[in-house]
Structure 1
Amino acid sequence: MESYFIENKLSELQPQMEIIADDIGTNGYSSTRLSELGFIIKAYDLHSKEMDAFTDQSSLSRKERKLNLPFTEEDIQQAIKPYVSKILSGGQVAIITNLEVFGGDSILIGQPIRSEGHLIGGLFLIKLVSDYSSAQTGFYFTIILTASLALILTLYIIYRVIRSMINPILDMTSSSEAMARGEYGVRVQETGYGELGDLARSLNILTSQLEQNHQASLKLEQVRRDYVANVTHELRTPLASIRAMSETLCDNMLVDEEGKQRFYHSILHESLSLQRLINDMLELSRLQSGSSAIQKVNTSPAQLMERLSTRFTVLAEDMDIRFTITENAYHMPDFFGHEDRIEQVFTILLDNAFKFTEPEGKVTIDANWNDTCIYLSVTDTGMGIDMEDLPYVFERFYKSDKSHAGPGTGLGLSLAKEILTQLNESISVEATGTGTRFIFTLHRSIKS
């Protein structure tokens, strides 16, 4: 930069020297203030004698002009001596050279003086490079300040741009680390640009799915634990009873035949309960695994209703319960389903209804329909179901009595729901105020 600065000054001064030389050649003098600015400027004739050619110095005596010069006349002539012959032969000099008499690098410009085409002398200008130190310092300061401001501005812009890229990446890194720790509730801001925004959205989707899978896994684990606990509970009671009665019989603690027969009947009853529980579990497992295919066909409900009436009317009379199948149920349209499976659903719901209905109560089968569906209901006037228990009645081993001491396996309603699910039907339960009503759907027959 120093070299550029000095060469720039040299290129600025050379045209000025040409103008001054032309003025001297034309008028015999020229006006310049370069000497007042620290320049050594001299004009010499062909005999190497100094010419009095500057009007701004005319008011000064030669002695005073010599006093204003930083160097002696001899020093100046010695400095320009190597270049005089070139100038007086019509050439030009514009160089930066080391002038030993001045003690450092200097600008030296030599220009021939012509009058009416004839060479009459030479014009010389000398300026120490060191005299520009203050100007160079200002120039350097300006350059450094400008460069610093440009650098700061550039760094600020880069910082703002990079921050908009780095912050989402840091957020995603933090979110990934949280997911690795099993914390799936974290989310990242979806404010990144372009691919970063897409990546943030994808990461949030992944986090949501992992959270859902985690919750499902926890729920499945809880279901597994409840299932094992319920199975254990359901098996423990009849097995303990069978074992106790068997030990009593084996130890000959009963001597009367009537007591033995009572124990034999109890063992048989508990064995049948165990068999029913195991059968229900296997049936539910087959349905849920899809290994038990259900073929749907167009079915007439008349024979189904007759069988239900014959089977449960006797039971109702024994339990002093009024059992009714409405005219709508007897004359409902044909449905598209599986007759045996629908009879199984009715059996489960009616067994449940009779079990919880007191003597002189009522159990009713009713039906209504529209163009596409038949809505069948089984209503009882039993003890009812608490509102807080309604959402859970179709879960496996659900019993309204929390001690699980009531009759039944607790799998019946789960089995009924699974059968209807396999048939693409639905089932629901509601409290009537005086009992419970189960409602399930059947699609009407498909016309060929």
Structure 2
Amino acid sequence: MKIQTKITATYVVFELLIVASLGTFTSMRMESYFKERLLDELSRQADLVYYILEKDTTNSFPQIDQQVKLIGGLEHLRITLIRGDGNVLADSDIPLPELTGVKNHLDRPEIQGALQHEVGYDIRRSATVDHDYLYMAKRIRPLTNRTGFASLQFIRLSVPLEDVQNQINRIRSMVIVVGLGVLLVIVAVSVIISRRITKSMVQIARGVEQIRSGDLDVPLVISSNDEIGLVAKAVNELVQKLKSDIVQLKKLEQVRSQFLGNVSHELRTPIFAVQGYLETLLGGAVDDPSVNRSFLEKAQSNLGRLNVLLEDLINISQIESGEMKMSLRYFRLNEFLESVTKDHEPLAAARGVTLTLALQTSNEDEAFGDKDRLRQVFNNLISNALNYNTPGGSVNVVSQKTDRGVHVRIQDTGVGIPAEHISRIFERFYRVDNNRSRSLGGTGLGLAIVKHIVEAHGSRIQVESKTGEGSTFYFDLKSS
């Protein structure tokens, strides 16, 4: 069943119950109201009859009976005069000669009620005249001044309920007609409201179906600010996030493909070189003393390069997967930098580059970090500064104390980095000069490893460079 049908049916059933309840309540109240008014009117008329009988000086019983009939006809009432023993003295609807055949009325409910409470009433079908009547009996003071009426104790008035019931039925009919009209209006309003409510829900359902089928370019346009609008907004945000995730996955897939291609290429180069040298040696060059040693040395060099590449691949894999273990602790910065710089003095001498250490921190200053991982960082940065330098150039390792910790930088007077390459030099396998990088034994992963290690220390590696003037790499470390 559709939601619109459910909402409409709920409204209709609910309002039908309300209309039926109100109709029943109104009918019962109207019936009670008419009966109360009728009883009040009958009580006043009983008092009037009593007053007339008390003031009338006529002593003829037939004349009194005729007077009772006259009053009943004028007031459209049935008047019955009843003695204390329950026998009827006079009745406006029964001829005087026939009164002897009328049953005793002492056991009638209205008479019993009058005996107990002065006024009693009852509704029943009259066996005498065969009509439904409302009977009201009132106990009176005896008329001691009237001959033959000293035993009179009850004046009973009765009216046929046909007119009253007809009026009540007309009111009930009006209530039913009005109720049906209200119900029709409610049904129409319920249909309109349910359509307005479900219209947005239908749009959401269709939109979700389009999303499920793969169409993510059609947003849900719901202008309401209610819960349905919030659902539509949430679905649109979910779709946008899904589209973003898809774009990111595609980028990751592209990066993965590029990475695999780069790895394959980087591995293939030294492997093919070693394979070529070995095949040449096995082909007879092993017995040629002019080339055999040279080929073996070149094969060994390529195997060393392959080993470095594999180590860098393992490092970058551990870093990016979060498996890299960091052993963070405080250490003497000056002592550490002196050791790292000393390790690179042979390479600096081989390149004809001056390597200096400018320590503006004290021997007691400590930095917070993983010494082994930071050694990888400085090894990469210093070796790059030496390898991409010019004979007679210089590399300066500087440390400074700052408010936030310690600042370190590696400055060189090398070839520099063109501005268009600076934003990408920390990408994996990215090289500014492919030929020179490979000839120097670079794997293309060094600066990517540097970037990840420095970021793992809560810092950020930055670079400033000008072509032909040199480069400066710098970052900060926490200190004690």
Fold similarity call, TM over 0.5: yes
Question: Counterpart of 2:279 in 1: which secondary structure?
Answer: helix
Structure 1 residues 13-60: Cα deviation after superposition (integer angstroms, max 9, x where no partner): 233223223223323599xxxxxxxxxxxxx979854536549959xx
Question: Does residue 267 of structure 1 match 2:299?
Answer: yes
- Which amino acid in the other structure matches residue 86 of structure 1? H
1:298 to 332, 335, 340: 332
Distance in 2 (alpha carbons) for counterparts of 1:100 and 1:401 = 126
Change in CA separation of 1:235 and 1:3 when aligned onto 2, cut-off 3 Å: closer
Correspondence list, 1:229-308, <5 A:
229-252=261-284, 257-284=289-316, 289-291=323-325, 293=327, 296-301=330-335, 303-304=338-339, 307=342
**Percent identical across equivalent pairs?**
19
1:95 to 113, 122, 139: 122
Distance in 1 (alpha carbons) for counterparts of 2:246 and 2:285 = 56
- Which amino acid in the other structure matches residue 313 of structure 1? A
Change in CA separation of 1:412 and 1:263 when aligned onto 2, cut-off 3 Å: same
Change in CA separation of 1:4 and 1:418 when aligned onto 2, cut-off 3 Å: closer
Indicate conservation of the 8 Å contact 2:331/2:366, yes or no: yes
Structure 1 residues 208-264: Cα deviation after superposition (integer angstroms, max 9, x where no partner): 999999888777666555443332221012112222333333334899654545433
Question: Does residue 412 of structure 1 match 2:429?
Answer: no
Question: Does residue 399 of structure 1 match 2:431?
Answer: yes
How far residue 186 of structure 1 moved from its aligned partner, in angstroms, is 9.7
Partner of 2:14: none
Correspondence list, 1:235-384, <5 A:
235-252=267-284, 257-284=289-316, 289-291=323-325, 293=327, 296-301=330-335, 303-304=338-339, 307=342, 310-317=345-352, 322-323=353-354, 325=356, 329-334=358-363, 335-337=365-367, 342-357=374-389, 363-371=395-403, 372-384=405-417
How far residue 438 of structure 1 moved from its aligned partner, in angstroms, is 0.8
Indicate conservation of the 8 Å contact 1:29/1:55, yes or no: no
**Unpaired stretches in structure 2, ≥5 consecutive residues:** 1-23, 56-60, 76-90, 115-119, 145-149
Change in CA separation of 1:378 and 1:83 when aligned onto 2, cut-off 3 Å: farther
- Which amino acid in the other structure matches residue 355 of structure 1? N
Distance in 2 (alpha carbons) for counterparts of 1:29 and 1:116 = 7
Root mean square deviation, CA, Å = 5.9
- Which amino acid in the other structure matches residue 245 of structure 1? Y
Question: Counterpart of 1:438 in 2: which secondary structure?
Answer: strand
1:11 to 28, 36, 42: 36
How far residue 414 of structure 1 moved from its aligned partner, in angstroms, is 2.8
- Which amino acid in the other structure matches residue 472 of structure 2? R
How far residue 352 of structure 1 moved from its aligned partner, in angstroms, is 1.7
How far residue 439 of structure 1 moved from its aligned partner, in angstroms, is 0.5
1:129 to 162, 184, 188: 162
Partner of 1:39: none
Correspondence list, 1:90-169, <5 A:
91=111, 94-99=121-126, 105-109=132-136, 116=143, 118=150, 119=152, 124-129=157-162, 132-142=165-175, 145=178
Question: Counterpart of 1:228 in 2: which secondary structure?
Answer: helix
Instruction: Please report the TM-score for the alignment, with normalisation by the length of structure 1.
Output: 0.63
Distance in 1 (alpha carbons) for counterparts of 2:277 and 2:347 = 33
2:105 to 63, 66, 86: 86
Distance in 2 (alpha carbons) for counterparts of 1:293 and 1:190 = 53
Question: Counterpart of 1:95 in 2: which secondary structure?
Answer: strand
Correspondence list, 1:43-62, <5 A:
49=66, 51=68, 53-54=70-71, 57=74
How far residue 276 of structure 1 moved from its aligned partner, in angstroms, is 1.4
- Which amino acid in the other structure matches residue 268 of structure 1? Q
Structure 1 residues 329-385: Cα deviation after superposition (integer angstroms, max 9, x where no partner): 145433425666555433311222333345566544344332532332333442404
Change in CA separation of 1:83 and 1:210 when aligned onto 2, cut-off 3 Å: farther
Structure 1 residues 288-329: Cα deviation after superposition (integer angstroms, max 9, x where no partner): 524464654224347437616733431332xxxx53536xx1
Structure 1 residues 385-434: Cα deviation after superposition (integer angstroms, max 9, x where no partner): 444x4444334333235899744111212333444455555422233464
Partner of 2:94: 77
- Which amino acid in the other structure matches residue 273 of structure 2? S
- Which amino acid in the other structure matches residue 96 of structure 1? I
- Which amino acid in the other structure matches residue 336 of structure 1? E
Instruction: Please report the TM-score for the alignment, with normalisation by the length of structure 2.
Output: 0.59
Question: Counterpart of 2:351 in 1: which secondary structure?
Answer: helix
Structure 1 residues 101-145: Cα deviation after superposition (integer angstroms, max 9, x where no partner): 877634455667877454399564332426632442224423774
Change in CA separation of 1:272 and 1:10 when aligned onto 2, cut-off 3 Å: closer
Partner of 2:50: 25
1:431 to 453, 457, 465: 465
